[in-house]
Amino acid sequence: MIVGKPLLTTREIQEKVKELAGRISMDYAGKELLAVGILKGACMFFSDLVRSVEVPLTIDFIVASSYVKMDTSGEVRIHYDIREEMSDKHVLLIEDIVDTGITLNQIRERVLARGPKSLRICTFLDKKERRVVDVPLDYIGFEIPNMFVVGYGLDCDNKFRNLPYISVFRKKT
């Protein structure tokens, strides 16, 4: 297995997080915001982002899985669901990467069924060319080509999440 040089450096990531947090702070000024991180992948992005958002907010998480090693299984499993009441809140779902869109689409429908005041989605990475299901994305960090990446929360077989940058990952041939 090979982890290559950074596709996105720590500095580029930090700058993008600040930019997204600035937009979110403006858009949610005066509103009751519930920030929901989709785990495990969004753990680093979520914690950096919410610490840079300058409006009061509450947080919760949803733990979902669909990937087995480097491929999607197409079947989304929910291991922990959002516990916060959301009918009086504006919900912002925070995801690490949107690939086929299957995971996010199912989570989005689950949240909408609980009647939040509004729902927006923020993703750190967007692998647009792999999309199978159309999901509306309100805040996108970086659009990346169809390659498997690790670091900054993203994994392969639960490894490499602690890299402080995004790197392209490929199997040794």
Query: According to CB under 6 A, which residues from 10 to 29 bind ligand IMP?
Result: none
Return the range that interacts with ligand IMP (CB under 6 A); candidates 2-10, 20-28, 50-58, 95-103. Answer: 95-103
128, with CB counted inside 10 A (0-12, 13-18, 19+), is middle
Between CA 73 and CA 118 the distance in angstroms is 30
Among 10, 25, 58, 100, binds ligand IMP (CB under 6 A): 100
Considering the rule CB under 6 A, would residue 35 count as an interface residue with ligand IMP? no
Q: Which of 154, 163, 166, 167 binds ligand IMP (CB under 6 A)?
A: 154
Is 102 a binder of ligand IMP (CB under 6 A)?
A: yes
Task: Give me the least distance between CB of 170 and ligand IMP, in Å please.
Answer: 11
Total of chain residues touching ligand IMP, rule CB under 6 A: 19
162 CB-contact burial (10 Å; exposed 0-12 / middle 13-18 / buried 19+):
exposed
- Please say whether the beta carbons of 53 and 37 come within 8 A: no
Contact status, residue 116 vs residue 133, Cβ threshold 8 Å: no
Q: Is 27 a catalytic residue?
A: no
Burial 98-127 (b: 16+ CB within 10 A, else e): bbbbbbbbbbbeebeeeebeebbbbbbbbb
148 forms part of the interface with ligand IMP (CB under 6 A): yes
126 binds ligand IMP (CB under 6 A): no
3 state SS of 120? strand
Closest separation between CB of residue 49 and ligand IMP, Å? Answer: 15
Q: Is 123 in the site for ligand IMP (CB under 6 A)?
A: no
> Which residues, listed in sequence order, are joined to residue 143 by a DSSP beta bridge?
126
Q: Which residues are catalytic?
A: 99
Enumerate binding residues for ligand IMP (CB under 6 A): 41, 66-67, 72, 95-104, 148-150, 154-155
